[in-house]
Structure 1
Amino acid sequence: MKKITLITFLCSLLLMACSREEWDNVTNTDKPEAVFKLYDVGYNDVLSRASTLDESRYDRLEYCIVDENGNRVQNTKSKYNPLTAEIYVEGLHEGNYRLLVLGVKGDESQDGATIHDLNNADETWLEFPADLQKPLDAEYFYSQTPFAVTVQEGEGGKQEVAAIRQDVKQQRIISRIDFDFAYNNPYVRTAVTSKDVSFNQVYFYTSLSGNGDMAGESDGTLQGLLLGENASYNFMPLTKGSVLTGEINIRTRNYRGKDVNQVYAFSQKEMEPNHIHQIETKVNHPDDKSVVMFLTTSAYAEGKHTKILQDDEPKEVYTDPSQRKFNTAQPLQLSFTDEGQLHARFYSPRNLGSALIKVRIPAVSDEYFDVAYFDTIPGFADFYETSPLVQRSSMCRTESGRQIEVPQLQASELAGAEFKVESTDPYWAKLIKIEHGWDIYWGLYGGDPEREDGGPAGNWMGIRPVHCRESVAMFLNFTYMVDMPEHEQILRENADQLYDDNKNPIQVEKVLSQMRQKRTLKVGLVYPGNGVLGLGGGSTFGAYQQAWFEHYWNTYSCSIMFHELGHVMGYGHSSSFTYGPWAEKLMNNFYVQNLSRFPIDSPNYLNSKTNPHRYK
């Protein structure tokens, strides 16, 4: 007899229910060895053809060897190696057998499943409660593999045992149901607030025998389910004559705050083992033809839109005024691109909620009509998305309430578009009060932000995006402040403290006019190594890093800002607007004390002091 060496495993191997004898360390040389390699077969339907086999990895595995009569074979030794997905068997005599394998992926206890010991293949092996009333949490795989043990004759009698090596192909005994949805308008899909399904009476098999036969019947009740966007559920197959029927309820909201509830019936006649069955709902919605881009939070996230002035933005971009420049009275920039995309760029440290975008297009109507609605426009958003106007014919709602149908447009027909914004967000109420906006862009002034020390050049160093964002906050607040009645009152109450470099009184109206006139500033970062903390004059404005980070609460930092603004307004060091009370008493204190009333009312929107890209 040819000696067969026992494989020694490096890991602890599991002894399964139908193979209860311990494997000893001495190889039995009088009995043959069998090795079975387990593979999972893919779903055998059109959605997932069984073109490949994967090694089986189970959370629980049961197996049993039965003879020609279906009786369990006794007095064998076997083990399952989960690392190699192999079953090893010794102790079989010559004859015909079947290997029965039941694999579980997941926790069968969540399904109330009972796995019985088998003495005969006709007996129930796997059983579920009749009142389970829910989909299966785990997946269940089964196979029965015939094989034969033969002994070869040689000189001197039975000299050699033929070893058995065989692949075992495991298939799911369960059926999978996929609930899919087809939408005519992608903004309807992302406006779904809930989807659920309710079922009529339905009967599933509840047991599997060792032979693979299904029997038993559920109690007919299946609880309703909340459905996600890609909802897949596992069930035992339907009993003969049973049909899976029910209703799908879809709830959506639209940009005008109205809810829409729709109900769709469905029927699924077949649910076969190891098959995927698709229940597709074709959603026909009242907003299918709406021109409005309804950007819910999920719709915006799907677009993976970028942001401006972020820490990784190249200096060649954020210091190029053709790419990065804004007016504080129009921080939300709106346009159509040459390709027909709506472009929204937001110079703001804060998010804006509930933003309705309206547009007037000469080629469409003399009226403004709703074109987009954002649940939220993130701070520093840079949004691009193709408008339905250039994709299909659309229904538009004008300001007067009329519904007009607009045929599909060419991108060139969007020329001359004029936009306006409406929002219930209190933040927007503050932004639209900025009447006298200043144009802001950024410059390096010879500095190098890629160097650790900022590449100082004279009194300047390389401004970084973290400072650019702070300048957006500061100038939004400043230009908001200049139109506040309380600010004007402070000036009038302290008119005697407003004087030029020759100590001549300056009228409040002149000061207000200088603060409110149109200006364009090239903003930079001052290098403090030379003892200079700020620079300003004409179109130049700069401050050192601490001032940018602490203007919210530090009256000293704030006075530096107003000192340089005094230079921008044309005043020198002998006036009240630099080293005098306007900068160092009136404006800096008013700014800090009234921060809570400003558009950017907290440093926490930017949290620049902890930004890793600041200068150390």
Structure 2
Amino acid sequence: MRISRVIFICCFLLPMLGACTRDEIEDNSYPLSEYDGTGVLFRLKAESFDDTGSATRTVDLTAPFDTLCAYILKEGQIDIDREVKFPDPATIMVEGLETGTYNLLVLAVKGNYEADGARIHKIEKSSSPWLSFPENTSAKPLKAQYYYTNHKFSVINGKIKIEEIRIPQAVGMVSFDVQYKSDYVRKSVHDCQFIPSEDSRSYSALHADGSHSGQRSIASFSLSEQKQFLFFPTVKDGFSGQVVVNTINHRKESVGTEYDAKITLDAAKHSTVHVQAVHPEDNVGTNLADELTSLNYYTILTDEEPASVYANANQRSFRIAEPLQINMEKDSLHMRFYSPVGIKEVTVMAKSPTMDEYVEFVYIADIPAFADIKTSIKVLKKGVYRTESGKVQQFSAEEMKPASLSFKIACKDPYWTKISRIKAKWYIKFVLNGGDPVTGVPNKNWRGIRPVHCREAVALYLNIGYMCTLENFQKRVLTFQGVLLDNNKKAIDTSKIISRLENLSGFDIGLVHTGNGVAGLGGGRTWGVYQKSFLYHYENSGGCCTTIFHELGHCLGYSHNSTMTYGQWASGCADVFYKNNIKDFPVNSHTILKSRSNPNIY
């Protein structure tokens, strides 16, 4: 702790003492253990802002100040010969005072006043400026907190005296309370700021006697991230201007609205600017999804997810043509996405039995890969919605009753455009078949499938489902007419193979154990391959795609007597097309899931 020999200033953080004459600063800390009871001790308490206009609340802060300045005033004059000591950051001690009445002037700062451009001056009389800000710069919200008091006290016969000093704030606080009529508008706010009028002024200097002088203009500032601000006191009605709210709705349309604001900011007072926003989109019924947080969003099929969840069809299963599952749960919309790739700018369209068209019900900017999301829903009594054909219509809450709504997705994300083409009816779930995924102990030809394999299975079947919609794949399959033979060695009608594949009911996907010389198992709903096929299907490394389509041949009802298992279907037709066109598929690279380097593979 350092202080001037002329009873000037104590600063707990010397580098912050930019306006002081540094060669006059010396250590003036004083341990209370050496106090002999011949002086006056002042215990400091920092006051909070007056919110009510009544008594100011106080908060006892043990070490509230980074900078602490003190002077003794005797008969209206600065007593330059009186030494002030600081036993601790919340205590001031003055010794050797004769009987009489005095004033203790205290200026305290919490934070770095230099970051505000402030200067603390040496004073020789009570009318001198003590704290000042440059008048040639606009006043921005203050980073530091400033406190000031002129405390009157008496000394009688030099007796021991301990006084508590409550130090009021030397600045004012302004809060902005902007209320919106609808959640849609509130969530559409892109930017909110305060634009002061030209005559908005704050004082630029605080004098030792507590008076103010000088003026400087107030700068514009943003209300987007912060709602409470500190300013030096303003001249009467010196804080006026407009609260400007700019919104961008889910169709990227911008709207700006302005609201007048006018207050006076006094030291130690907390003033609030209240704004009731009126917006042309207050009656829009479309919901904007909540921001994703740990409270409403998590990732499914993570490596930490237990088998009791991912191998439970009631909790983890989906239809390949509907990888984004949507349903209402009370006042929330629940979305679960079976996809290794996320999508952006998604509109959930809704339609009730009484409506002719789907309308824009919920918009969500981002649905991450394998996301499970719940977002709150509000249905207006009379909401305005945009229909699928672009009409703007009003519907009542009864017509938009969530329990009666059916849903579909509108999204122009290139990835979604691809997977939304899938027509296959496959219902997919994951099965252990007796294998233990924790210990890795197999059950006959099955190992316990793990989440790393489940994620790859989702990628694989999205790719195969998409492949089935491609005209070039259909053409390639047709070229194998007469080559692809059934169990009786009769030619298969290749024009029907893809539709038959798409119309399979689905697959119970498992992981095959290779210890018994088996690489894959399939038939009916059962489909499983060895680990390499899950990891390397992107390149058909070592013929792993051959195994994939071999087992799909079994699911189509073909035995090893056909050429749909051992033969050209799995070795030359489907596997080759998959490998050669992987770059155009929805999940087109092993780098998306990075499963090959996952520590949970066998």
Fold equivalence (TM over 0.5) = yes
Q: How far apart are the structure 1 equivalents of 2:481 and 2:586?
A: 27
Amino acid at match of 1:443: V
Amino acid at match of 1:210: A
2:228 pairs with one of 204, 221, 232: 232
Q: How far apart are the structure 1 equivalents of 2:56 and 2:275?
A: 24
Q: State whether residues 22 and 77 of structure 1, in contact with CA within 8 Å, keep that contact through their aligned partners in structure 2.
A: no
Amino acid at match of 1:213: S
1:81 pairs with one of 88, 97, 101: 88
1:123 aligned onto 2:128:
yes
2:61 aligned counterpart, secondary structure: strand
**Counterpart residue number, 2:103:** 98
Please show how residues 234-253 of structure 1 align to structure 2 within 5 Å: 234-239=230-235, 241-253=236-248
1:346 aligned onto 2:343:
no
Shift of 1:400: 4.7
Q: 1:104 to 1:24 in 2, by over 3 A?
A: closer
Shift of 1:477: 0.6
**Counterpart residue number, 2:175:** 178
Q: 1:481 to 1:312 in 2, by over 3 A?
A: same
1:282 pairs with one of 250, 262, 276: 276
How many percent of aligned residue pairs carry the same amino acid? 33
**Counterpart residue number, 1:324:** 316
Amino acid at match of 1:215: S
Query: Aligned residue pairs: how many?
Result: 581
Shift of 1:216: 2.4
**Counterpart residue number, 1:435:** 423
Shift of 1:177: 1.6
Q: How far apart are the structure 1 equivalents of 2:163 and 2:444?
A: 80
2:147 pairs with one of 141, 144, 165: 141
Q: 1:24 to 1:551 in 2, by over 3 A?
A: closer
Q: State whether residues 143 and 171 of structure 1, in contact with CA within 8 Å, keep that contact through their aligned partners in structure 2.
A: yes
**Counterpart residue number, 1:397:** 386
**Counterpart residue number, 2:558:** 571
Q: 1:446 to 1:410 in 2, by over 3 A?
A: farther
**Counterpart residue number, 2:451:** 465
Cα deviations across residues 43-72 of structure 1 (Å, max 9, x unaligned)? Answer: 121399615322343332222233343322
Q: State whether residues 31 and 92 of structure 1, in contact with CA within 8 Å, keep that contact through their aligned partners in structure 2.
A: no
1:37 aligned onto 2:73:
no
2:327 pairs with one of 335, 360, 371: 335
**Counterpart residue number, 1:156:** none
**Counterpart residue number, 1:192:** 189
Amino acid at match of 1:615: I
1:605 aligned counterpart, secondary structure: coil
**Counterpart residue number, 2:116:** 111
Q: State whether residues 300 and 372 of structure 2, in contact with CA within 8 Å, keep that contact through their aligned partners in structure 1.
A: yes
**Counterpart residue number, 2:583:** 596
Shift of 1:611: 3.9
Q: How far apart are the structure 2 equivalents of 1:21 and 1:555?
A: 77
435-444 or 163-172, which moves further after superposition?
163-172
1:211 aligned onto 2:216:
no
Q: State whether residues 30 and 86 of structure 2, in contact with CA within 8 Å, keep that contact through their aligned partners in structure 1.
A: no
Please show how residues 458-607 of structure 1 align to structure 2 within 5 Å: 458-495=444-481, 497-500=483-486, 503-556=489-542, 557-607=544-594
1:365 aligned counterpart, secondary structure: coil
Q: State whether residues 326 and 347 of structure 1, in contact with CA within 8 Å, keep that contact through their aligned partners in structure 2.
A: yes
Amino acid at match of 1:373: Y
Q: How far apart are the structure 1 equivalents of 2:184 and 2:517?
A: 56
68-77 or 129-138, which moves further after superposition?
68-77
Cα deviations across residues 290-328 of structure 1 (Å, max 9, x unaligned)? Answer: 221123xx7445973334333343433322223322111
What is the TM-score of this pair, normalised by structure 2? 0.87
Shift of 1:252: 1.0
Please show how residues 333-412 of structure 1 align to structure 2 within 5 Å: 333-337=325-329, 339-362=330-353, 364-389=354-379, 392-409=381-398
Shift of 1:125: 1.0
Q: State whether residues 190 and 299 of structure 1, in contact with CA within 8 Å, keep that contact through their aligned partners in structure 2.
A: no
Amino acid at match of 2:64: R
Shift of 1:258: 1.7
Cα deviations across residues 381-430 of structure 1 (Å, max 9, x unaligned)? Answer: 333334333x533223334544443333399x544533222222112221
Q: How far apart are the structure 2 equivalents of 1:343 and 1:23?
A: 65
Amino acid at match of 1:592: K
Q: How far apart are the structure 1 equivalents of 2:241 and 2:74?
A: 45
Q: 1:42 to 1:554 in 2, by over 3 A?
A: farther
Q: How far apart are the structure 2 equivalents of 1:469 and 1:441?
A: 11
Q: 1:566 to 1:183 in 2, by over 3 A?
A: same
Please show how residues 142-157 of structure 1 align to structure 2 within 5 Å: 142-151=148-157
Shift of 1:91: 4.8
Q: How far apart are the structure 1 equivalents of 2:35 and 2:562?
A: 108
1:54 pairs with one of 48, 61, 70: 61
Q: Which runs of 5+ in 2 are unaligned?
A: 1-10
CA RMSD of aligned residues (A): 3.1
